Amino acid sequence: MYGTPPPTQLPGWSPPPETPPPETPPPTPPRRRHWKRWAAVLIGVPVLLIVIGIVASAVGGSSSTGNRSGSTPAATAPSAAPSSPGVITLSATQQSYVDAMRSRYNFKSDITDQQILVFGQGVCNGRSTGDTQATAQQVARSGWTNMGASDAYSMTRLAESSLCPAWLPAIRWHTIASYSGTGMWNSPPFRLHPGSTMLRVKFGYSGNSSGFGGDNFIADLVSPSDDLSLANDIAVSGGQNTTVYPDTSFGGSRNYHLEVTADSGATWYFVIKQRY
């Protein structure tokens, strides 16, 4: 790299007498790479020692300040740092919610606990900023694939009861349809709420006669896949409170309508309630 230096003289060598002494060659210049190499070594050793000292000091400092109080962190508190990049440690409440979701619904294998938790927290955030539960259910249906109305309702309530119980609506009876009329009549369709499959129906009728005693009074709740009998009487007047259980299993429709068969002069009313 730097050229080849002349050969070094052997000890005790001299030229023959008859030959005039040769000129003394100039001293061999030192190899520049040698002093650079040793300089790097001599400089690198203390630098390495300084680096080792800094690392040791940092490790020792972190060990001594990690838990000065000596107290044990709460079991439900999330870890201050994730165990691996992008992974969040769930609290006991959050993990219980995720476990309940997995036990009730069939998630794909690539759905993570964090994705399920984010959905539940989104429900709570929306409810806290004024979203109705119906809106939260719509978000559930759009956020998950193959999500039916009943599952969206129960999934929303599970998030509320597990993560933000203050926003969980109390279950009560709601009037979902109310009719009054005369004679034979079929109502327009109404849709059952996905929250339950129990209905309470209150009805009454009078004047159900053509002039010779009572006529047949029949009332049914009908869907494309179900038929629930409410009344089948032969009487001038009558009525009652009754409980029926629509069948919406296996893809059964939640769209029902009321069918009434009565004398043309009969008057009647129906109030249909559902608890959710």
pLDDT value of residue 24: 53
Measured CA to CA, the distance from residue 34 to residue 23 in angstroms comes to 28
Q: What mean pLDDT is predicted for residues 236-259?
A: 92
pLDDT at 85 over 80: no
- Asked if pLDDT for residue 124 goes beyond 60, the answer is yes
As its CATH architecture, domain 173-275 has Sandwich (2.60)
6-27 core/surface letters (b: 16 or more CB in 10 A; e: else):
eeeeeeeeeeeeeeeeeeeeee
Q: How far is CA 220 from the centre of its chain?
A: 41
Helix (H, G, I), strand (E, B) or coil at 67: coil
Could you tell me which residues come within 8 angstroms of residue 223 by beta carbon, excluding any fewer than 6 positions away? 246, 252, 253, 254, 255, 256, 257
Range with the largest mean pLDDT of 50-54, 78-82, 204-208, 252-256:
204-208
Of 251, 272, 127, nearest to 189 by C-alpha is: 272
The verdict on pTM exceeding 0.75 is no
Torsion over CA: 180, 184, 190, 192 (sign): positive
